[in-house]
Amino acid sequence: MKDVKNYIEENKQRFLDELFELIRIPSISAESEHKDDMVRCANKWKEFLLAAGVDKAEVMPSAGNPVVYGEKTIDPSKPTVLVYGHYDVMPVEPLAEWRTKPFEPEVIDGKIWARGADDDKGQSFMHAKAFEFMVKTNQLPCNVKFMLEGEEEIGSGSLYGFCEEHKELLKADVILVSDTSMIAQDVPSITSGLRGLCYWDVEVTGANHDLHSGIFGGAVANPINILCKMIADLHDENGHITIPGFYDDVLVISDEERALMAQAPFNEEAYKKELDIKNVHGEKGFTTKERTGIRPCLDICGIWGGHTGEGSKTVLPSKAYAKISTRLVANQDYEKISELFKNYFEAAAPDCVRVKVTPSHGGAAYVAPLEMTAYKAAEKAMQETFGKRPIPTRSGGSIPIVAGFERILGIKSILMGFGLGSDDIHAPNENYPLYNFYKGIETIPYFYQYFTEMSK
């Protein structure tokens, strides 16, 4: 890949300016008021793909937010890489904790600060620019397809149907995704596994209206107290999840594989210091990396009820709510888990309250075998640009659609992400180092080169 460094150097400010145009569109898929922003963002992507050199690009309808599709065919006998990314972003609250405006990207201390700077506008845009480089310098070695969806952060609900409907259009040899992190800037890694996800909305109702906590307190169930008890009961004293059958399908990892994983560099003291916690907390019998890599977990992502404003209102509320999620590991079926939890939690409610569980979204876990061609190509590409062999890691995060691609399209994905754990995706002050942004653009063309060569 001749002159890739020069090309980046000459165009670095333009790359950033273009990315900022994408970031400034507040494409928050979880909030319905941003419907128009989703369409604006999709159209902006189409514009950028055309400018980068695709033969054609389209904003295609789905059951929900539109999907951006683009392709360039140089020779049907050559392999095809399908680049997947998402143009939607997470909500931004709590706003007060942002040091910059979430949709006004700024470069401070060598990092881009904005919602979507990493996840996934920054990471997916690297692919547009790497592709542009290969086209403009006549070095594109294979065919390329792009697919950018607008619902990844809410579970990719419409993309499953879109894939079913467009199997022919989406035919490819591998799906290339940059939506994950590396261990560190000087410790490149490739994500060889992802956890699955299952998410529910829970509503607990006591009396039919808010009551005076003095007149009724002690005699009428408080839905917050009950919800807390029900949530507490979801874990036992060893940090195991108590839902009957929850672990039934979890594959036991061999001692050998655990020993291999333990070799990945990890400094627990630095981890605790970075998070400002005295101690880690999780399932007994597993290390921190195992707890997020190979074991499922259950977290309350949100809870609310009663008086949450200023001052001390004495109220016995009628309702309490929670958003509950589990991360699943390979072989756990998210639809089975979804049903399991709903039945268990609703049945666990005492007769003084009513409990309603609404399944939200979910997806299966995913594992990429280290023997597959795309893994080897990615490994070699990163070795080329980072000067080090990347380490395979299992991420605790989920990209449910990746398991969906395998199931529906029969195509494996390679998760060559360039983010960092400190990028604070999904949180206030999301950021993405310029180093990683440009290093990604530099590395991607080598993946195309090696993947094409190895596929022969």
Considering only residues 330 through 349, tell me which ones interact with its own copies, judged by CB under 8 A.
Answer: none
CB of 146 to its own copies, least distance (A): 25
Which CB, 385 or 431, lies closer to its own copies? Answer: 431
Which CB, 278 or 456, lies closer to its own copies? Answer: 278
Q: By the 8 A CB rule, do 30 and 21 touch? A: no
User: According to CB under 8 A, which one of 17, 104, 233, 257 is a site residue for its own copies?
Assistant: 233
Alpha carbons 255 and 331: distance in angstroms, whole number: 18
User: According to CB under 8 A, which one of 60, 183, 315, 372 is a site residue for its own copies?
Assistant: 315
* Sheet with 319-328, edge to edge strand ranges: 319-328, 196-205, 354-363
CB of 77 to its own copies, least distance (A): 39
Backbone angles phi and psi of 50, in degrees to 5: -60, -45
Q: By the 8 A CB rule, do 431 and 113 touch? A: yes
Give the bridge partners for 58, in sequence order: 69
User: According to CB under 8 A, which one of 109, 186, 232, 238 is a site residue for its own copies?
Assistant: 232
CB of 435 to its own copies, least distance (A): 20
CA distances from 359 to 149, 251, 389, 426 (A): 22, 24, 41, 21
CB of 298 to its own copies, least distance (A): 8
Give the bridge partners for 193, in sequence order: 367, 394
CA angle 188, 194, 199 (to 5 degrees): 140
Q: Site map for its own copies, 362-401, x if CB under 8 A?
A: ---------------------------------xxxx---
Alpha carbons 405 and 194: distance in angstroms, whole number: 14
Which has the closest alpha carbon to 145: 81, 86, 75, 87? 81
Number of residues that bind its own copies (CB under 8 A): 104
The interface with its own copies within residues 25-54 (CB under 8 A) comprises: 29-32
Asked if residue 317 binds its own copies (CB under 8 A), the reply is yes
Binding span for its own copies by CB under 8 A among 52-60, 121-129, 350-358, 436-444: 350-358
Asked if residue 91 binds its own copies (CB under 8 A), the reply is yes
Asked if residue 454 binds its own copies (CB under 8 A), the reply is no
Alpha carbons 417 and 176: distance in angstroms, whole number: 10
The interface with its own copies within residues 249-278 (CB under 8 A) comprises: 275-278
Which CB, 64 or 445, lies closer to its own copies? Answer: 64
Which has the closest alpha carbon to 105: 36, 8, 17? 17
Asked if residue 356 binds its own copies (CB under 8 A), the reply is no
CB of 90 to its own copies, least distance (A): 6
The interface with its own copies within residues 143-202 (CB under 8 A) comprises: 153-155, 181, 195, 197, 199, 201
User: According to CB under 8 A, which one of 6, 242, 314, 331 is a site residue for its own copies?
Assistant: 314
Write down the residue that tokens 């980046």 correspond to. Answer: 8
309: how many CB neighbours lie within 10 A of its CB? 5
